[in-house]
Amino acid sequence: MNESEIDAGVDTIEWRDPAPLRAHMLHGCLPEPQLDSPEWHAFVDGLSGLGPEGTPAIHVTPQGWIMDGVRRWLAAKQLQWQKIACIVRPEWEAPLWIVESLFGQRCLTKGAKVYLSLQVLKEYASAAEMQRLTWLEKGVKILRKPLIVPLPSSGRSRHDRTAAAGLAERFGVSEKTVERAIQIRKLFESPALREHKFQFQDGEERTLREHFEPLILDAEHPMGLGDVIKGIGWFVGPDGQPLDQAPPERNSHLFYWERQWGSWAKGCQRWEKLSAGERAKAIEAVREAAEAVPGELLEQVTEAFRAEVKKRGRRVEAKG
């Protein structure tokens, strides 16, 4: 079956052995599944209950390169299945499936998804245009416009702003998010910064990408793109050249945690100004927030609060 026949026909299911299949090379832009995580074990357990027949089909090229469904394929191999359902599609669709898979991941922020998608944007724009023309040739009205790819130069231009507007509309995010992702990508890939090693708070030397990219992709405590740009600003001058200075403390999760905790503590000073009804709502909000606090931290905070209550009690007794 050639790709023209695939385009013309209706999707059909093929059963293939998972062993010889491989992830498409464009999947390199996506985070790899953490195969030792509780989430992964739960995912595999769920598929084991569905079995090969109940598991949604993956999308592959005629040559067996997986465009969509890498997680299902990895789980099928782990479960030692002899077959997996596949839908064969032309390879030019690979960027479309991969970016769609990226935006379907729940463990990433919108900013992280846009940041990762820029890595395959040229291929994605080309495939999206081919898809648009294919539908037009079939007489199907389509509202999507051709995408514009940002320029590789480091500067911010009208061209890039136009590109950001189109991508924001396509991805369903704000233009500011796309502009920040483009700016970060350009800084990481700048000839002056790409290989330059900076010393960070932990004493280790890393490039900007090596330091900030894991923070962007952190599933539990991600750093927003705006904060990443601010952090990079401590290391890079207005001319785009590396600065020679001590590593700032603010480029760490601890800095942002302490700042947020300090804001909460300052907010508590408003307690005396709240009415009885507002205080009840405030307490309820604290209870809801407590459910998301990690166990170890909850124990430490509870112990600190109890110690403070005892200390204030002793002060009252001393005054009495």
Least Cα distance to 55 among 91, 24, 83, 33 occurs for 83
Q: Are residues 149 and 131 part of one domain?
A: yes
Q: Give the β-pairing of 65-68 and 58-60.
A: antiparallel
Q: Which of 106, 130, 145 is the last residue of a domain?
A: 106
Q: Are residues 288 and 269 part of one domain?
A: no
Can you give the pLDDT at residue 266?
Answer: 77
Total domains, the chain: 3
The residues near 142 (Cβ < 8 Å, ≥ 6 apart) are 132, 135, 136
Q: Are residues 136 and 86 part of one domain?
A: no
Q: Are residues 191 and 124 part of one domain?
A: yes
> What are the 10-residue block averages of pLDDT along the chain, 320 residues in total?
51 91 90 86 94 95 94 95 95 92 87 93 90 86 80 73 88 93 93 90 88 91 92 89 68 68 79 86 85 86 87 69
3-state secondary structure 8-66: HCCCCEEEECCCCCEECHHHHHCCCCCCCCHHHHHHHHHHHHHHHHHCCCEEECCCCEE
Q: Are residues 184 and 245 part of one domain?
A: yes
What letter represents residue 314's amino acid?
R
Q: Are residues 26 and 54 part of one domain?
A: yes
Q: Are residues 310 and 219 part of one domain?
A: no
**Could you give the C-alpha distances from 209 to 203, 204, 205, in angstroms and in order?**
17, 14, 12
67 lies in some domain: yes
Q: Are residues 188 and 127 part of one domain?
A: yes
Beta strands in the chain (DSSP E): 13-16, 22-23, 58-60, 65-68, 84-88, 198-199, 205-206
Can you give the pLDDT at residue 248?
Answer: 55
Put simply, whether the predicted model's pTM sits higher than 0.85 gets the answer no
**Could you give the C-alpha distances from 270 to 261, 263, 276, 284, 306, in angstroms and in order?**
15, 12, 13, 16, 21
Rg (CA), the chain: 26
DSSP-derived letter for residue 269 is: G
Can you give the pLDDT at residue 195?
Answer: 94
Can you give the pLDDT at residue 269?
Answer: 81
